[in-house]
Amino acid sequence: MIKDYFKVGISNLFHRKMRSWLTMVGIFIGIAAVVGLISLGQGMKEAIGNVFLNIGADKLVVQAKSGLQFAGPPGSSAASNLTTHDIDVIKRVNGVEQAGARLIKPAKLEFGNEVKFYFAASMPDDDDGREIITEVNRYETEAGRLLKRGDRFKAFVGNSVANKGIFRKKIELGNSIKINDAEFEVVGVLKKSGNPQQDRVVIIPEDTMREVLNIDKKKVDVIAVKVQKGVDVNKVADDIEKAMRRDRDLEIGKEDFQINTPQQILETLDTILTMVEVVLIGIAAISLLVGGIGIANTMYTAVVERTKEIGIMKSIGAQNK
């Protein structure tokens, strides 16, 4: 009897091919939506986690409160109140191995006949500063080289800047690009980082940037700090905060600067991404529910259409089980 039921079921599937295929497609789409959206949320968390692991657990970033984020990617900021004097204060803190500052400013970029407004960032002229900024940002060249001591009016550019992400024409090594009407020779192109902000930045020597953009010699936007090996990063961050607060004669809670560790930034983003993941799972659950209702409706319709057939089968001895 069970064998007969099975044969009838298979026969009905082939008899109504379109309905059967649409039902199966609905099941596949529902499952794929759940798996895909959950994987997307987890993948986002893992990818961002890897970005901050690349920065290194021994790095800190000091910036003006509500200012730029991280030492490399440009972003909008309030006017920075950091100065080169702050670098000296930070370097005197126990546990600090290196400290380097940079500028990140909006600028007019010209290439060919196109004019765009994006960000220009500086590369320190001193060896220690260049080393830590390069480390924190994980700068690697796809072509050419990074900036070196003595460079003037040279630039290396983000991958999107070079590869038609901003300008219609590709930028090659040796090409000239204008920044606020000053001409710079492109000596390097960065590897694609996956960070849209970093891929769309132009990096030039610090002294040249101050000259071209008319920036005060003492002003800086962000300070990257490398902590000595084996030293507690959080303790060093607290000591830097105390030293800067004392130097600026500020009360606790009245700081006009902030100190970020990769772990702090990661925890903040992890909270945000967890919320995003919950939303994605909710969307997937709704799609699964809709798919389930569709399947139930199809099954109900199939049973209703077969009421006559079921009556005949039961009259000749078929049972419910």
Domain count for the chain, please give it.
2
pTM: 0.66
Beta bridge partners of 184: 177
pLDDT tens sequence for the chain (321 residues): 566 666 666 666 566 666 667 777 777 777 777 777 777 777 766 666 666 555 567 788 898 886 444 444 444 444 568 999 999 999 999 999 989 999 999 999 999 889 999 899 999 988 888 988 988 888 999 999 999 999 999 999 999 999 988 899 999 999 999 999 999 999 999 998 877 778 889 999 999 999 999 999 999 999 999 999 889 888 999 999 999 999 999 888 888 888 888 777 667 767 777 787 787 778 777 777 777 787 777 777 767 766 777 777 777 776 766
Does residue 19 lie in a domain region?
Answer: yes
Beta bridge partners of 226: 59, 98
Torsion-angle region of 136 (φ positive above 0: left; ψ -120 to 50: alpha; else: beta): alpha
Q: Let me know whether 67 and 199 are in one domain.
A: yes
Q: Let me know whether 33 and 174 are in one domain.
A: no
Each residue of 141-180: b (16+ CB within 10 Å) or e?
Answer: eeebebbeeebeebbbbbbbbbbeebbeeebeeebebebe
Rg over alpha carbons for the chain, rounded to the nearest Å, is 30
Q: Let me know whether 116 and 214 are in one domain.
A: yes
Domain region containing 132: 59-228
Q: Let me know whether 222 and 82 are in one domain.
A: yes
Does residue 42 lie in a domain region?
Answer: yes
Q: Let me know whether 223 and 124 are in one domain.
A: yes
Q: Let me know whether 139 and 206 are in one domain.
A: yes
Amino acid at site 279 = V
Distance CA 242, CA 14 (A): 77
Q: Let me know whether 87 and 197 are in one domain.
A: yes
Contact 141, 188 (CB under 8 A): yes
Q: Let me know whether 128 and 209 are in one domain.
A: yes
